[in-house]
Structure 1
Amino acid sequence: MSATGAIRIGTRGSALALAQTGQVADRVRKVSGREVEIVRVTTEGDTSRASLSSLGGTGVFASALRESLLAEECDLVVHSLKDLPTAAAPGLRIGAVPKRADARDAFIARDGLTLEALPEGAAVGTGSPRRVAQLRARRPDLDVRDIRGNIDTRIGFVDSGELDAIVLAAAGLGRLDRLEVVSEFFELDEHPSAPGQGALAIEGRATSDPELDRVLSTLDHGPSRQTSAAERAVLARLEAGCAAPVGASAIVDSELLLLTATVYSIDGSQSLTASHGLVLEGSPAEREALAVELGSRAADELLKRGAADLAPLR
């Protein structure tokens, strides 16, 4: 804790990061009864203009936050879960995954056009290899361009006419109250999103702190933790980076966890899909372990069928 007794929560300084961290801070304040201090941390992903794939994937957003946590400059940090590498960070743990927001991708186009209604050769922007592959699979005629920047910057590419459309995560738009710009939502059964998309991860140090443990247990949402764990286990078993052309979507229906995962070729011309399910039972930790097992099983099928030859996974 800080010298004033406040719980310090680290975050990136973008509008989206501050909005989602503010939501977490409000809940931490309510549950703990303590003051909460938000600590802004600058990451390599915020300062570099290079593409995410050339930087090594979206893990570049997490490393500085984790360093701040280990240096005890903050007590907790908030990540977009899809930005976290799948490997565990020594000395740290994900203490809570709050209830997940909309996991879908959102399509934002000039004149409110849908993807199918865009004219031939239209320019569409995204920084995600997965989205590139999915766009090319549906519309190989499109001019798909790599873009960076925050949500307002990306929307500005469409408003200015530089691009005809962009693809963003629906969750981020929702957290910033910008859903009015969406032309179309891509349904997960046809357009699976990044593993963990729409979920937040509240990370803390691995050493036990009874007060923080109590707060985090209150914020944790079992189904969100289980679905994101299954999806991220696909990436882990594939040994794929956060920016690999892999989509995954899991749901909990009663006690049944269902997962579908797809690996795409970058040009969108080929894909491999695996779907699996299992019954969740036992303690929260046992259920999470089952979710990881399910994701690994789906990945094993994809590898057996040639996923490593279909796309660059690392």
Structure 2
Amino acid sequence: MSPLRLGTRGSALALAQSRAVADAVQAATGRQVELVEVVTAGDRSSAPVHRLGVGVFVSALRDALVAKEIDFAVHSYKDLPTAGQDGLLIAAVPPREDPRDALVAQDGRTLAELPPGSTVGTGALRRIAQLHALGLQLTVTPIRGNVDSRIRRVSGPEPDLDAVVLARAGLVRLGRTEEITETIDPMLMLPAPAQGALAVECRSDDSDLVDLLAVLDHPPTRAAITAERALLATLEAGCSAPVAAYAVLAEGELDSSGASGGDEIYLRGAVISPDGSRDLRLSRTGTPAEAEKIGKALAADLLDLGADSILGTPTDSGARTQHLGATE
């Protein structure tokens, strides 16, 4: 039986993620898996991520799937457009890595220890907006590049940044957690919808492979991601928009007989203007079966309070004085 062809981007992080999935497939099913590197438009561009558009790291992998050049692909779930693609299916969502953001700073500093005016680099508009919203008087600059090149700008021989903010999940998967100087509390910085999660995608008509990959699926992670991405889709915002969401599954409270009331999803969402001056944060709860409904309802709550006007704010806007909601 020929090996399964797993499509992946060629970055160190993408390869680490794909190798982990390949190993899991082989361990669970006995099928051999070979990696096939695919270059995406995002890999060829040096423009800021939020200017590249939704799906820039995804389309080439999906094209290869449709053309049957690969059998399945692994994506960072947060990079996927909220709309699915005809003929393709997310066959598995493996257990999520820690979704929080992480700081790598000179001299082992935390965010609170960075002096006013410190230069902090990050590639996500969501992080830029939330760093501004903290009111720490930091100079925040958009950066591109892989994890290694970003960290070198802080700890390399010729550093030009005081700190960078990255996804903790990526550092974990690359074995570089010792370089983290602070794992940022979600109360200060909510992660991107689906941050830390992977999406394993294949052709929907490949029923044997759909069944084979299902062994990797982790229902609690899928429910959390469903809630977060339903919020994003209802806001009609892309993966690079200043929208944050974080769903946590917890066991329900015990009833009078001592029996559990079942698992519960607690979803927090935020919409932040790029300059950080307008910041809406709300939450909702429900059951895992209601994950999509919860995300849509929370998005509607945010829209009722003016989230659409925040999302319409140009990225180069000046300071605003209107404040909606509270900065956690």
* Superposed counterparts of 1:154-165, under 5 Å: 154-159=150-155, 160-165=158-163
Contact 1:250 1:258 in 2 (8 A): yes
Which range moved further: 99-108 or 247-256?
247-256
Letter in 2 for 1:232: R
Contact 2:26 2:33 in 1 (8 A): yes
Letter in 2 for 1:185: T
Q: Indicate yes or no: 2:196 matched with 1:188.
A: no
Residue of structure 2 equivalent to 1:291: 291
Residue of structure 1 equivalent to 2:273: 265
What is the CA-CA distance between 1:215 and the residue it aligns to? 2.2
* Superposed counterparts of 1:60-209, under 5 Å: 60-159=56-155, 160-209=158-207
Contact 1:125 1:165 in 2 (8 A): yes
Give the secondary-structure state (helix, strand or coil) at the position aligned to 2:159.
coil
TM-score (structure 2 length as normaliser): 0.89
The CA distance in 2 between the partners of 1:190 and 1:158, in whole Å, is 22
Letter in 2 for 1:222: P
Contact 1:231 1:295 in 2 (8 A): yes
What is the CA-CA distance between 1:191 and the residue it aligns to? 1.5
* Superposed counterparts of 1:203-242, under 5 Å: 203-210=201-208, 212-242=209-239
The CA distance in 2 between the partners of 1:114 and 1:291, in whole Å, is 34
What is the CA-CA distance between 1:93 and the residue it aligns to? 0.8
The CA distance in 2 between the partners of 1:14 and 1:208, in whole Å, is 28
The CA distance in 1 between the partners of 2:136 and 2:85, in whole Å, is 39
* Superposed counterparts of 1:16-95, under 5 Å: 16-57=13-54, 59-95=55-91
The CA distance in 2 between the partners of 1:80 and 1:269, in whole Å, is 29
What is the CA-CA distance between 1:12 and the residue it aligns to? 0.2
Contact 2:274 2:313 in 1 (8 A): no
Letter in 2 for 1:119: P
Residue of structure 1 equivalent to 2:302: 302
What is the CA-CA distance between 1:161 and the residue it aligns to? 2.0
* Per-residue deviation, residues 87-143 of structure 1 (Å, max 9, x unmatched): 011110100000000000000100001111111101100111110111111135211
Percent of aligned positions that are identical: 50
What is the CA-CA distance between 1:216 and the residue it aligns to? 1.6
The CA distance in 2 between the partners of 1:7 and 1:293, in whole Å, is 36
TM-score (structure 1 length as normaliser): 0.93
The CA distance in 1 between the partners of 2:203 and 2:108, in whole Å, is 45
Which range moved further: 101-110 or 250-259?
250-259
Deviation >3 Å, runs of 4+: none
What is the CA-CA distance between 1:241 and the residue it aligns to? 0.8
Residue of structure 1 equivalent to 2:317: none
Residue of structure 1 equivalent to 2:256: none
Which range moved further: 135-144 or 42-51?
135-144
The CA distance in 1 between the partners of 2:298 and 2:136, in whole Å, is 28
What is the CA-CA distance between 1:313 and the residue it aligns to? 7.9
Where structure 1 has 5 or more consecutive residues not aligned to the other structure, the ranges are 281-286
The CA distance in 2 between the partners of 1:311 and 1:233, in whole Å, is 16
Residue of structure 2 equivalent to 1:9: 6
CA 240–313 in structure 1, closer or farther in 2 if over 3 Å, else same: farther
The CA distance in 2 between the partners of 1:313 and 1:301, in whole Å, is 19
The CA distance in 1 between the partners of 2:188 and 2:163, in whole Å, is 19
Residue of structure 1 aligned with 2:283, choices 250, 275, 281: 275
The CA distance in 2 between the partners of 1:178 and 1:139, in whole Å, is 29
